[in-house]
Amino acid sequence: MAFWNDLLGLLRRRNIALPILALGLVLALVAFFLGPSRYKTESSLILTAPPSGGTLSMDPTKPVGLTNPLLQYNDGLRTVAGILIVALNSKEELRKLGVEEGGGTEIVIDDGRSNSDLLGVVTLGPFLHVMVESDSPDTAKLILERAHQRLNAELVKYQTTLGAPKSTFIAINTVALLPPEYDGSGKTQLALGTLIGTLLLGFAGAYGVLVRGLFPRPAPAPAPASEEAEPAPPEGGSVNGRVPLKEQDEAAPRP
């Protein structure tokens, strides 16, 4: 309870609270303007099967022919999308794209669950979603293009390795492509974090100094008197019907 009382006392003291708040606001503004600018670009892709349905018939009179193995699953296109997502998220593939761990560029490759606009259609089709965020719009655009190239290259490699006829190859089509745009959410988060951190450290330091006694605590209010002071006896009179001893001695007859 004493801690909260001391903390409330610090908040009420303008000579302590206002400088800490002003310092926090100044540092937050500095962090906002000096923080790195971020740019984000993203694309939505979908896998499509060939018109032949994945089977190349050698003889029109016979239903059996060469088939694309990747389309033999009940949900083949979504299975292929999952394979590509796992492959492109490996550390080696990310390095090929130019995305280093802890660097200034970040990339997300998934089925669209990271994009709120695609949450309602993620389960309806074999979607691929690529999002790149970087300090430079040119870098973000370049990494996105590289990701598209790697997705197509990996898809062709898988189908070629499995011996699928080229006429049955699955294709990747672009549904939506957003150019690099400025994203100020990172700067806002940095400024808020700086403000909150400054306030916490400032009041923690002030509390520590207050406990050590370097800041004088407010003097407690004087307690009200419980009893009234006894009035002084009048000169030559008596108090409570008694005659002072000195007057008794003077009034006594002398021999």
pLDDT tens per residue, range 189-247:
889 999 999 998 988 888 777 765 655 555 566 666 555 555 555 555 554 555 554 55
- 28, 195 in Cβ contact below 8 A? yes
Chain-centroid distance of CA 102 in Å reads 17
Which residue has better confidence, 179 or 117?
Answer: 179
Split at pLDDT 50, 70, 90, the class of 74 is very low
Q: Where are the domains of the chain?
A: 39-57+66-183
- The pLDDT score that the predictor gives to residue 215 is 52
Does residue 178 register a pLDDT over 80? yes
- The pLDDT score that the predictor gives to residue 224 is 63
Does residue 146 register a pLDDT over 90? yes
Q: Which H or E run contains 128?
A: strand 127-134
Split at pLDDT 50, 70, 90, the class of 10 is confident
The pLDDT mean for the chain works out to 77
Number of Cβ within 10 Å of residue 106's Cβ equals 15
Is the entire prediction scored with pTM above 0.75?
no
| Residue 136 three-state SS | coil
- The pLDDT score that the predictor gives to residue 127 is 85
- 152, 159 in Cβ contact below 8 A? no
CA atoms of 184 and 167, how far apart (whole Å): 46
pLDDT in tens, 113-131: 877 776 666 566 688 999 9
| Residue 206 three-state SS | helix
Domain spanning 39-57+66-183: CATH 3.40.50: no
Structural tokens at position 28: 């937050």
CA atoms in the 13 A half-sphere facing the CB of 225: 4
The CA angle 112-79-149, to the nearest 5 degrees, is: 65
Exposed / middle / buried, residue 87 (Cβ in 10 Å: 0-12, 13-18, 19+): middle
- The pLDDT score that the predictor gives to residue 58 is 46
φ/ψ of residue 60, rounded to 5: -60, -25
Which residue has better confidence, 161 or 219?
Answer: 161
CA atoms in the 13 A half-sphere facing the CB of 154: 19
State what percent of residues in the chain have pLDDT above 90. Answer: 22
